[in-house]
Amino acid sequence: MNEMPAKLQARAERKNAKRDVKKRQIAESAILALKELGYAHTSLRDIADKSDMSLGMLHYYFDDRTDLIIYCVTIYKEDFVSDITAALEKANGRAEVIDAFSEALVTSIFDHEMTHRLWYDIRTQAMFDATFRPVVSEIEQKLIGIVRAAFEKAGHTEVTNVELSYALLDGVFRFLMQGQIGPKPKERAELLATFRALLDQFL
């Protein structure tokens, strides 16, 4: 008697799962376009063209341009956070944490420069468009969480001012990353040294 509902529910779940897979697939294509052109200059048509999707499909899976972009940024968060977290996990003791953290940050600058560009773009948009604020805020909390984790792993028992440490670290990260876009990008080693010195002072 209750078998059918169970079956139906199972089917609905399978469908939802499938839908989520597709959404992520679309979002990943969208990110490619957004990373390149930026929030302001990426139209849904651009996204549809760059991937092999029809314009209609974008709206079939997402309510809105905004909805799609928020989804994209959410994915970014997951990737970046899990990257850094994984890197920190293996580290034991202050020295190793500084090493691993610096290493991970620099690697991310080199490998995901464009993704970070997008993140800074959306974060700035949030200053003007309240719609973006919840996601941005949520992500920023995760990033602060990473810094806190680093502190704890480094042996600090009582961590204060994590937010400030994040802000400061983010300022440097952004500055260095932006420098890599310009005409005179720096060597990997130099960036690494900078982060090391900074973390050595703060952590």
Partner DNA sequence: AATGAATGAGCCTTCATTCAT
Partner DNA sequence: GATGAATGAAGGCTCATTCAT
- C-alpha to C-alpha distances, 8 to 5, 56, 61, 75, nearest whole angstrom: 5, 28, 22, 29
133 contact partners, CB below 8 Å, separation of at least 6: 126
A 10 A CB-CB count for 77 gives 19
Q: Does 64 bind DNA (CB under 7 A)?
A: yes
Q: Does 57 bind DNA (CB under 7 A)?
A: yes
Letters for 9-48 (x = contact with DNA by CB under 7 A, - = none) are ------x--xx--x------------------xxxxxx--
Q: Does 61 bind DNA (CB under 7 A)?
A: yes
Q: Does 60 bind DNA (CB under 7 A)?
A: yes
A 10 A CB-CB count for 12 gives 10
Nearer to a second copy, 91 or 119 (CB): 119
Among a second copy, DNA, none, partner that 175 touches (CB below 5 to 8 angstroms by kind): a second copy
CB of 22 to DNA, least distance (A): 5
- C-alpha to C-alpha distances, 134 to 128, 139, 179, nearest whole angstrom: 13, 9, 29
- Would you tell me which residues interact with DNA (CB under 7 A)? 15, 18-19, 22, 41-46, 53-61, 64-66
